[in-house]
Amino acid sequence: MYHALYRKYRPADFDSVVGQDAIIKTLKNSIINHNFSHAYMFFGPRGTGKTTVSKIFARNVNCLSPKDGIACGKCDACKASFSKDCIDILEIDAASNNGVNEIRELRNNVALVPSELTYKVYIVDEVHMLSDAAFNALLKTLEEPPEHVIFILATTDPQKVPETIISRCQCFSFKRISDDVIKERLKYVCKQEKIKIDDDVLEAISTLSDGGLRDALGALDKMVSYTTDKITLDDFNEVNGIISSSEINDFIHSILLGNIQNVLSSISEYNNKGKNLIQIMMQVSNYGRNMVVDYYLNQKELDIDVDLLQKFVNDLNDKMFDIKKSSNTKVYIEMFILKFINDNVICSNTNKKMTSSNDAVGTKEEVIEDKKEEKQEIRDDTSNNENIDIKESIKQEDSINSEEMKSINNSKNPVENSFDNVGNNVIPKILNVDEIMKVRINNAFATADKALLKEETANFELLKDYSFDQEIGYLVNSLLDSKLRVVGNNDMIISFDSKAIVEQNLVNLLQLNDVYEKITKSNKNIAIITDEEWEILKKEYISNLKNNVSYEVKEEPEVVLEEIKNDDIISSSAISLFGEDIVEIE
């Protein structure tokens, strides 16, 4: 009968165990000095040797004449311990025997002396699966066991084991086995089994196994079953649903260069071909990490920004757990990468336009006109049951002609032209901004309408077309980062989670209002508050409704701007720094 490679090459003695040198040395010395504990806890990732070392230790501790802490393999105790019928070395699966009754039975059997060996050894695998009642039943036995009993508790999740259990055990942490050690072990197995395999495949298996030797041997076993010829890297990629190094390199470049179209089409292609997207993301993480390491250690030149690459690898590594647990892996990966590109690639360099399928970009006024019909369709769908006032306001709003667009700011808005002035270094401070905010908040609540809220929500979609604009992108993104709370006839309330962000946006209030009006054709006055303030205002509004307290529309005060001197900015700054006696202005 064929035996799986991980079973066939499971270590039978301490010298055959790889990757856990410190633990093996400690256990061997405890046998040599006869000072071993009555209870041990082995914890660490899967496939790192916990159960294997437990069995080896159980045999070695019972050997009548061990040499350097290793069983002789010749004495009667060794022959008995290596037998499958040995009843003094008991392996218990806590996952399927996790009840209190099983542990009580174990506790009763503990009192029985060994039949063949010196010590009766209980190996409890996946001990964290025991119930609370079972742990309580085990506690007393662990605290005062008979002299002929040794407990070895193994688990991959020590956090779930009660501290009272852990404190009574001698604990050993099994670490992940390094890729180099796994690769050498795979080479040994391939040599023994006469398996023809490329060195690149061994390296790929070592990386993919994530520190678990059992997983690595299982992957090798699968490759042997896949082909009788020499195993190549293409075979490995095909079996495991992953991609080649060149494809990973192209994928990373597409991300860091902001090529959204290539990124999304690549993910769709991998998914349609049945590739394992989780494994691909792990490949991307490891490949990116190797690129960063080569850059710093080997001075290997990169044609992409190393800092951006490093941030992407860190962000991806932080999200790997969520990616693995996501109900829709493809969507999660797409949204994560798109957010990274928007936040770090495009917004960090406004001189580079977003790479997309749209090659031709018109002027702001042309795009606004192109969106006008689309916006009207959205309104038509959401305003069938609205009152006459809402319909009339829409008619008046849509009747604004191009000449009125040019002069829209001359009547009410102090800013001459929103798109020309957003980059102005000197922004006048609104001295009565608090008073203006109070009136706008009051008026928004006074004429609040869910239909208007739905309409402005549709308007916010139009802002997305300008989120990467060199001149107004930062204002548009500020609006998109807000939460739309209340919309009235002439006013609306938006909120942000931070007071600092609110204060910064209040500085840009005139520009925000102007940009929003030009893009959406909506003449709503914007009121800006924090999320915390919104919760307070909402409770107050609900309370007023219950008590039949109505809000009356108030007249908004005129904007009072701080006086800005027309002095040259550089000269003024120099004078403020060095004084009039030092600075000479020609």
Sheet holding 39-43, edge to edge: 89-93, 120-125, 149-155, 39-43, 170-173
Instruction: Walk me through the domains of the chain, giving residue ranges and CATH numbers.
Output: 5-173 (3.40.50.300), 179-240 (1.10.8.60), 245-346 (1.20.272), 364-546 (no CATH)
pLDDT at position 399 is: 43
**Amino acid 37: pLDDT:** 87
Token couple for 188? 């040994």
pLDDT at 526: 94
Confidence (pLDDT) at 533? 92
- Predicted confidence at residue 426, as pLDDT, reads 55
Residue 129, CA distances (Å) to 143, 155, 159 in order: 20, 9, 11
Strands 149-155 and 39-43: parallel
Q: Note whether 182 and 156 are within 8 A (CB).
A: no
Task: Decide: 489 and 389 in contact? Cβ < 8 Å.
Answer: yes
Which backbone phi and psi does 483 adopt, to 5 degrees?
A: -115, 125
pLDDT of residue 238: 86
Quote the pLDDT of residue 364. 44
Phi first, then psi: give them for residue 143, nearest 5 degrees.
Answer: -70, -40
Closest to 530 in 3D by CA, of 497, 504, 561, 506: 497
What is the rounded CA–CA span in Å between residue 111 and residue 94?
20
pLDDT the model gives residue 565: 56
**pLDDT of 566:** 52
- Spell out the per-residue pLDDT of the chain, length 586, in tens: 567 888 888 888 888 888 888 999 999 999 888 888 889 999 988 889 899 999 999 999 988 888 888 888 888 888 888 887 788 888 888 878 777 888 888 888 888 888 888 888 999 888 898 888 888 888 888 888 888 899 999 998 888 888 888 988 899 999 999 889 999 999 999 998 888 988 888 988 988 888 888 989 998 988 888 877 888 888 888 888 888 888 999 999 999 988 888 999 999 999 998 888 998 998 899 889 989 998 888 888 888 888 899 999 999 998 888 898 888 999 999 999 999 988 888 765 544 443 343 444 444 444 445 544 544 444 444 444 434 343 344 344 444 344 444 443 443 343 334 344 444 445 678 888 899 999 999 999 999 988 899 889 988 888 888 877 777 878 888 898 899 999 999 999 999 988 888 888 898 899 888 889 988 888 899 999 999 999 999 989 888 888 888 888 999 998 888 775 554 444 444 444 445 454 454 4
- Distance (Å, whole) CA 364 – CA 463: 12
